[in-house]
Every structure is written in C-alpha cells, then in structure tokens.
Structure 1
Amino acid sequence: MGDRIPVTVLSGNLGAGKTTLVNHLLERSGDRELAVLVNDMGDVNVDADLVAAGSDLDVDDGVAELSNGCICCELQDDLESAVTRLARERDFDHLVVESSGISEPAPVARLFTTESRAAARYRVNGLVTVVDARLFVDAFGGDEVPERRAAGEDERPLSDLLVEQVEVSNVVLLNKADLCTEAELETAEGLVAALQPDAETARTEFSAVDPAWLLDVERFDPDAVSDLPGWKRALDDDGHGGDGDHRHPDEVYGVSSFTYRRRRPFHPERVADLLRSLPESVVRSKGTLWVADNDQRQTLGQAGSSVRVTAEGPWVASLPAVEQDLYRSNRPDLDWDDEHGDRRTELVVIGVDMDEANVRDRLDDALVTDAEWSESASLPAGPFPGSTGEDAVLREP
C-alpha cells in the first residue's frame, strides 16, 4: 500500500465550505504536492474555477473537473478515468476529491477500495464531511437521533443525504462555528457522535484546519467495523439499501439544478432585490454576474439565506485593445462574443422542490430593458463592488 497515492474524499451539504477547505489546503500545503478533482452539479463547474483561482494550478494542470452530474453514480466512469489520468500525467503526493453537495461519499470511496484502475494507484486516506454547523443543528437538533427513512422510499428529505455523509465519515468539520453558540456546537457534536461514533469532530471557521492533521493521518480502515453504522455497511451494500436499486440524489432528495446564461446585463438594483428575496427552495446559487455599467466580473455565492458577491476582476472586454489581444492570445479557449466580448451571466442554481420556471422568469425580469441598456451609464450603481477583490453582503442569515 505504501506506493499508492493517498486520497481524501471530501463531501458535505451545499454551501457548507468544501471549496473554501480545498483552497485552504492548497494555500497551506507546505511541501505536499496536492492534486484536486472537483465535481459539481450543472454543466458549469464554478467550483473548479474557484479552486484554480485560489491556487497556482490551472484547471488543466492539477485541478480536474467533472461537471453536469454526480460522481456517486452516473459519472463513476469519468471519475475513474480522471483520477487514473492524473496519476499517469502528474507527480503529486495526495489527491483530494471534492464531490458535489448531493453526492453520497460511500460509492466514491468504493471506487478506490475495489478492484479497479483507480484502486491500483490510490488508497483511501479518509472520508471528510463539512457541515454548516448552524444548519445541521436546525435540521436535526432535538432529543432524538435523526430518524431516517428506508432507502427505497420516495421523496426522502435532503437532510437524509447529510446523515448519509456524516455516517460514513472519518472526520466531520463543524464549519461556521463562529455563528453558533457553545450550546449549539455541543448539540452538533452530540449529533455527530450519535450518527458516527468513530468520526473525529473539529469546530472550524472558514474551514480552517491544520493540513497535517487532516491529510497526514490515515483514518480509513477497511477492516474496521463501527456500531452505528460507519462506513462498512454503506460500502458493503453499495450505500443504497443493498438491492442495487440506486436512484440519483436528484430523484431521491428532491434536488434539481439548472444553468442560467445570458448575454444581457442585469439592472443593478433589480437583481440586488431579487438576490435578497430568493425563495427558500433555492438552496444554492453560484456563478458569474454581468451587472450593467460595472466593469467588474461579479461572482455570486448564495447558500440559503446568505448572499455575497465579489468583484473578481475586470471583464477582458473592458480592457484596452492591446491588453485584450494579449489576454485572448494566452486564452484561446475564452468564450468570446463579437459584440459583448467575455461579458455574460452564467449561474448554476440548485434547489429543493424548486419552481425553475418562476426563478428563470424572475432572473429575466431583472435584466435591463432595451431602453435601459442604451442609457446604462445613467443607471444606479447598486450594491455591487467596483474594485477587484472587494465584496458585498446582500443578505445575511
């Protein structure tokens, strides 16, 4: 086993802080050479771009991405191919697999524990789940252990997936601990202990942990048996009830997603009002916003009632022509429109029992009209930052 590459499988609920953790590990990797595979719902892998932006690696050079699916089921072949290719083409010390917020970790781990091309090159080092501590307590906080429905039942709540993720974990990070009281954190720790007694628990803020503690300690034991119920039952019965009747989490947990793309800017005030009043069914939205009369590419990060936008840098189309040409020559794959350049809105919206048509209509209503577009310089600036690196909080829990 010593010559095989250790792999850490990272899971957690939507918006809990998985990508923040990956960037934290990359920035503080020390002498370690880390490779990262990012899986996201939707056909735009926003997390892969954010991970690459937070490191010295390019998406094609150490940060691999799998989009528009879930690696616990229909992307299994892609996952195996991606990690095998990484091992063949790059020298690195440790692989981190960041699964999407609706992926079940057991099938992902099983790829590395059964006979496969991936298992021949890798060994599982640990299964790590990141949870939003406050949401975890709100979902499950009570005197009883969270009750789970049978795997074959329809319409299991999304909270069941969080239970699945915690049950098979070796490490649970109770993230956003600064937003919880001591009593709430103790409740969260008790819930984790009830669901998975063998898991180590750590309280974190902004997913900050010691990389050595998380990556250098081998916690996954394929011969271990835990009482309630640990990884073994999940892996042995395929993590889906043992009858092979696995349905994608989209169907089981009521999760759906869509990608919203437009080559027309948003009205600054209307889109701000929309983002502040998203329906509760929208669990997560993230991506790039084009806001009228703002040269900055705005990155949206929304998780539940928290909405934040960050100015990630100027649109290439807003730069002087010489700089545009230089940038485009170095990025031949840049999505470029003859009229608008790289300016565009590209969002992934994830929800539970979400009315997609209604959300799309509301987004469309927030776009500038033809008359407003022709007079965009006179529009109000709205709350969106105008300098690279600045951010704005549009809504807080």
Structure 2
Amino acid sequence: MQAGQIPVVVLAGFLGSGKTTLLNHLLHHSGGSRIGAVVNDFGAIEIDAMAVAGALGDSTVSLGNGCLCCAVDASELDEYLERLAQPSAGIDVIVIEASGLAEPQELVRMVLASEHPRIVYGGLVEVVDAAEFDGTRAKHPEIERHLALADLVVVNKADRAADGERVLRVVRELADRAAVVPASYGRIDPEFLFDCRPSEERIGQLSFDDLHRHDEGDRQSHDDHLHSAYDSLSFSSEVPIGPRRLMDFLDSRPEGLYRIKGYVDFGVQDSVNRYAVHAVGRFLRFYPEPWARAEARLTQLVLIGSGIDTAALAKELEACKEDAPHADEHSMWGVLRYVQEPSPEG
C-alpha cells in the first residue's frame, strides 16, 4: 500500500467466540508495529493483561506495548479513525473489534466510506467458536452470511471441539474462498493481518529475514514461535510479471495460503509504478506507487500459509514471469479491479 496509509482490519464474531482474546494476542505480539485498537465492548477487554500505562483522553488508553485502545460506538467510528490516522499517533495498523451482536458488513461499509486519505480497508476477520459452533449456528443463522463475507476465518478453540475437523470442513464450505485458520486461545500469526516491523533498522523496502529469524535474545523460543507452525515462501524476480498470469495465480490460490505481501514489477505494462500487493485470505488489494529513481526493479513477494506446497507455488510464480516487449492496454484490467480509488483529498 502507499506510504503513510494505515490498513484497518475489522475483527468480528459472536459473543464468546474469542475476539477479545485474539485482539489481546495481537497487541502482545505486534512485532514492533503500533496498533490502534477500536473496541465496541470496552468492558470486555482484559485491561490488566494489556498493561495499561495511563489514559490519553476520553475512552482512549495507552497500552504498555505502545498500542492505543479506544472505546466507541458505531456513530463515533469515523471520528476515532481520523484521530488514530493522525501522523502524530504513529499508528501502523488499526484493528476494530466489533460488538458480538454487530453486523460486520456495516463496519466494513463505514471503513470503506471513510474519506480520510490515510485510511485503507484491510479485510474482515471472522472469529468462530469451534466448541460451540453448532449451537451458535442454530441460534444465530446469520453466521452463515457473516462467514460468506469474511476474508479470513479464525476457527478458535479448535482444541476443545468434540469434532474439530468436521467444524473446519463446514466452516470452509460456508466461507466460500476465505482462508480458514484453526487456532487455540486466539493465537494466530500477526503476519496474517499486517506487517510486523522489526525492532532494528533495516535497509530496503521488504525484508524476508523476519520470517525465519529466531535470535537467542528473543523472548519466545523457536518451538513457541508462531511462525514455526506455518510455511512460508519468499519469491524474487528480476524479470517482470505478466498481469494476466499473476491474476490467474491469485484467483486459484489454495485455501491454506493465508497471506501474500510484497511488491510486483509489471514491466512495460506500467513502467511508472510498482504495485504493492496485500492479500489476507481472499481479500486482495494492489497499491500502485512510483518507482524511486535508480531503484532496482524487482518483484519481491512473501507467501505465508499452512499445509501449502511451497515448491509448487514457487513453480507457479516462476510461470508468471513475462518480459513483454510492448505494452498491452488490456492486460492490467484484472489488476486494476483491485486498486482502491483515491479519495478526493488524496
């Protein structure tokens, strides 16, 4: 996405599904990113667990790890998004935890309707209680509609479900093409939702090292590190990528592929811009941004998932290379469908 833009992720799910637990987990494992957390049910947040450092104003608290938390209702959402998007707040990503009775599409609509030039929608994450899934579905049949809207579904409490595999199968059927992630205690890799900034200075636009680094000084051991439960693929190419070939690849990506991030060089199809790509589950956005003068023109991508065939995916990406001698005015249409129109202020 463009420099200075802040992705807004909507976190939804029915009462008791584990949204707050997942949000607390993200706050504690932000990897150096500063999170703005916007919460409907403020009383449900485990204040002690988040080590509150002190109040910063009405309904806003500063957390010990550098994150901010706001308690809002729907009518105040735009106001708080604007507040968190101010450069002085230093926010890298905003997570909105919806009320357990909220209609997620309404929050999504409000985020998409924001005219703030720094706000960009980052996807809908639906949290499901695997242990109570059948009962929730019977009591709240609208869960099927919520799952159909989701970009990423977290099947929480998978370890406590009587038949977790069956629940996963049903959820995958209802979730259409959304990525479905099993979890316990809301522990998912934050990289599924946003980039974790390294604590040290780094050179370049994209680092692949943070996916594999486990220094001795890390607070978590290698076995406890979230990345150890997932597969990742780093892809780099000096040859431009064909837009149609890449869209065919993205349209057919496997269900276990949860996250794609990086930059794409489309060569002569757009010689002015590189395209930042951000995919969470089935959510996909491209963000064109001008090439810097004298910058090496590379495609650099990171793919993260579970049970994915990294060798096969690498082969498919290799097949996306296309050093076309002339531009085809129609070739970028598929990509441009996923480019968010700039706001009037932008």
TM-score, normalization by structure 1 = 0.44
User: Which of the numbers 284, 298, 309 marks the counterpart of 1:221?
Assistant: 284
* Partner residue, 2:14: 13
* Partner residue, 1:79: 77
Letter of the aligned partner of 2:78 in structure 1? E
Letter of the aligned partner of 2:164 in structure 1? L
Structure 1: runs of 5 or more not aligned: 141-156, 224-397
1:177-192 equivalent positions in 2, closer than 5 A: 177-181=158-162, 184-192=163-171
CA contact (8 A) 1:23 1:55 kept: no
User: Which of the numbers 158, 168, 190 marks the counterpart of 2:149?
Assistant: 168
User: Does residue 133 in structure 1 map to residue 130 in structure 2?
Assistant: yes
* Partner residue, 1:340: none
| 1:307-327 alpha-carbon deviations (Å, 9 max, x no partner) | xxxxxxxxxxxxxxxxxxxxx
Q: 1:222–1:213: structure 2 CA closer, same or farther, 3 Å change rule?
A: closer
CA contact (8 A) 2:128 2:154 kept: yes
Cα distance between partner residues in 2 of 1:222 and 1:111: 18
Deviation of 1:2 after TM superposition, in Å, equals: 1.3
Secondary structure of 1:112's aligned partner: helix
Cα distance between partner residues in 2 of 1:168 and 1:102: 16
Secondary structure of 1:108's aligned partner: helix
1:1-397 equivalent positions in 2, closer than 5 A: 1-3=1-3, 4-40=5-41, 45-48=42-45, 50-51=46-47, 53-56=49-52, 58=54, 59-61=60-62, 62-67=68-73, 71=74, 75=75, 78-88=76-86, 89-114=88-113, 116-118=114-116, 120-140=117-137, 158-181=139-162, 184-216=163-195, 217=259, 218-219=279-280, 220-221=283-284
Secondary structure of 2:61's aligned partner: coil
CA contact (8 A) 1:51 1:63 kept: no
Cα distance between partner residues in 1 of 2:53 and 2:8: 18
* Partner residue, 1:283: none
Cα distance between partner residues in 1 of 2:82 and 2:6: 11
* Partner residue, 1:319: none
Secondary structure of 2:70's aligned partner: strand
Secondary structure of 1:134's aligned partner: coil
May I ask how many residue pairs the two structures share in their alignment? 190
Secondary structure of 2:172's aligned partner: helix
After superposing on structure 2, the runs of 4+ consecutive aligned residues of structure 1 that deviate more than 6 Å are: none
Q: 1:52–1:36: structure 2 CA closer, same or farther, 3 Å change rule?
A: farther
Structure 2: runs of 5 or more not aligned: 55-59, 63-67, 196-258, 260-278, 287-346
TM-score, normalization by structure 2 = 0.51
| 1:328-372 alpha-carbon deviations (Å, 9 max, x no partner) | xxxxxxxxxxxxxxxxxxxxxxxxxxxxxxxxxxxxxxxxxxxxx
| 1:156-215 alpha-carbon deviations (Å, 9 max, x no partner) | x7512322321211111111111124xx22221222222222111111111011111233
* Partner residue, 1:307: none
Secondary structure of 1:188's aligned partner: helix
- Bigger helix fraction: 1
Which structure has the bigger radius of gyration? 1
Secondary structure of 1:131's aligned partner: strand
CA contact (8 A) 1:52 1:63 kept: no
Letter of the aligned partner of 1:109 in structure 2? V
Cα distance between partner residues in 2 of 1:52 and 1:10: 21
Deviation of 1:138 after TM superposition, in Å, equals: 3.9
| 1:279-328 alpha-carbon deviations (Å, 9 max, x no partner) | xxxxxxxxxxxxxxxxxxxxxxxxxxxxxxxxxxxxxxxxxxxxxxxxxx
Deviation of 1:19 after TM superposition, in Å, equals: 0.7
Cα distance between partner residues in 1 of 2:141 and 2:126: 14
Cα distance between partner residues in 1 of 2:119 and 2:142: 26
